[in-house]
Amino acid sequence: MASAVLLRYLVVLLLVVGCLGRPVPPSPAPNMVDGITAIYNFGDSISDTGNFIREGAVGLMEHTGKLPYGSAIGGATGRCSDGYLMIDFLAQDLGLPLLSPYLDRGADFTHGVNFAVTGATALDTADLARIGLHMTHTNSSLSVQLQRFKDFMASTTKTPSEMRDKLASSLVLVGEIGGNDYNYAFAMNSPQPNGGLYNIGHMITGAVESLVLVPQVVKSITAAAKELLDMGATRMVIPGNFPLGCVPSYLEAVNETDPAAYDGNGCLMGLNLFTQMHNVLLLQGIRELRKIYPSATIAYADYFSAYVQMLRGASKMGFDAAAATKACCGVGGGAYNFDMDRICGAPGTAVCARPEEYLSWDGVHLTQHAYKVMSELLYRRGLASPAPVNFPRV
């Protein structure tokens, strides 16, 4: 019975969505910080600033290319939130312009490029297809993003030495990525109405496939990081995954009625254990990279702990504690205000009165306020360690 309950935790799809447009950037700080002149970012919807919609968003993504996405900054921008993301707040804190998406051919990439794509996976789509996973929303996997980076560097530097000099004054972020690999495995084996024993078999398959993927996903991330370090990166951030058991979309999909399945923060313990397995293996990989590249700063960004801290300190951080696991924009009300069939922006959905008091924007991605708090916890309060940036004391 307990094993069946645990498997049910793993049967759910974390939506991947995209948005449209270009923001009016906040005013950058007057000076760049700690010698960093550029940021190069790889990842998925947590940090995509517009690549996905430039690839052509269709289907479930159609509603995210317009308001209410981007409502806090005047319109949809390509960011999966009501406003800015962690990568935006980090760039602003470093005194740099907001990162433009790589696929925005008219953008100025002097101070960095964002290669992240909503729905992107750590593993190539061909590798996922070989194990029967064909649900990917984009082909822009981590290796594709890495190749785009190499193409960019080849077109903007003349020699390997010049490239290394450029990277020596840059900050490189490799992720968050990998969550979508697991999501596709979960979703491909989701239960069907009245499925009976058929559903049990699918749940077992989904759980096993997801567990098997973890070391492959981690290897893909650390291999990409190694290539970037070989090319000359000297300061790097590699984030772990969020606590999936605390995300409204997962909580609603599982709909577990046994109180014993939840921790003190209202999160599903089974899903969080799965996430921690990924994070522990990733940390081991990062430690190995630190041994190989002792002169580089390779920081682990603890997204898991930062999210949990927001849940525990919701009121002190400006959130409504009663809505800590509820989506601001959605439909259905109840404990999570989330419906997989009607995501934020679809007919019938609505936006809460005070988005800044919510952690979750659409049941999957965070609000601008939550991303700002996350950025503060990571880069100024030590949850990205060792510190990749030395900010001046204020």
CA quadruple 353, 373, 57, 334: dihedral positive or negative? negative
Q: Using CA atoms, how far apart are residues 231 and 228, in angstroms rounded to an integer?
A: 5
Residue 185's Cβ-side half-sphere holds a number of Cα atoms within 13 Å equal to: 26
Q: How far is CA 360 from CA 72, 190, 210, 308, 311, in A?
A: 14, 24, 25, 13, 11
At residue 135, does pLDDT exceed 80?
A: no
Residue 354 and residue 241 in contact, taking contact as beta carbons nearer than 8 Å: no
Q: Which is higher by pLDDT, 90 or 64?
A: 90
Write the pLDDT tens digit of every residue in 310-336: 999 999 999 999 999 999 999 988 899
Q: Which is higher by pLDDT, 22 or 285?
A: 285
What pLDDT sits at residue 190? 52
What pLDDT sits at residue 381? 97
Write the pLDDT tens digit of every residue in 336-357: 999 988 999 999 999 999 999 9
Residue ranges of the domains in the chain?
2-311
Going by C-beta distance under 8 Å and a sequence separation of 6 or more, which residues neighbour residue 158? none
The per-residue pLDDT of the chain, averaged, comes to: 87
Most confident range (mean pLDDT) of 47-61, 63-77, 285-299 is 285-299
Please identify every residue annotated as catalytic: 45, 362, 365
| CB neighbours of residue 226 within 10 Å | 17
What pLDDT sits at residue 4? 44
Longest dimension (CA), the chain: 63
CATH architecture of 2-311: 3-Layer(aba) Sandwich (3.40)
| CB neighbours of residue 336 within 10 Å | 22
CA quadruple 250, 251, 256, 261: dihedral positive or negative? positive
At residue 194, does pLDDT exceed 50?
A: no
Terminal alpha carbon distance of the chain: 54
Q: How far is CA 253 from CA 101, 124, 338, 389, in A?
A: 32, 27, 9, 38
68, two tokens? 């209410």
75, two tokens? 């319109």
Within 30-158, residue ranges assigned H as helices are: 51-55, 86-93, 125-130, 142-156
Within 113-196, residue ranges assigned H as helices are: 125-130, 142-156, 160-168, 179-188
Average pLDDT over residues 83-109: 97
Write the pLDDT tens digit of every residue in 205-221: 445 567 889 999 999 99
Q: Using CA atoms, how far apart are residues 211 and 369, in angstroms rounded to an integer?
A: 33
Residue 16 and residue 180 in contact, taking contact as beta carbons nearer than 8 Å: yes
- Using 50, 70 and 90 to split pLDDT, how confident is the model at 238? very high
Going by C-beta distance under 8 Å and a sequence separation of 6 or more, which residues neighbour residue 115? 40, 41, 42, 43, 51, 102, 145, 146, 148, 149
What pLDDT sits at residue 393? 77
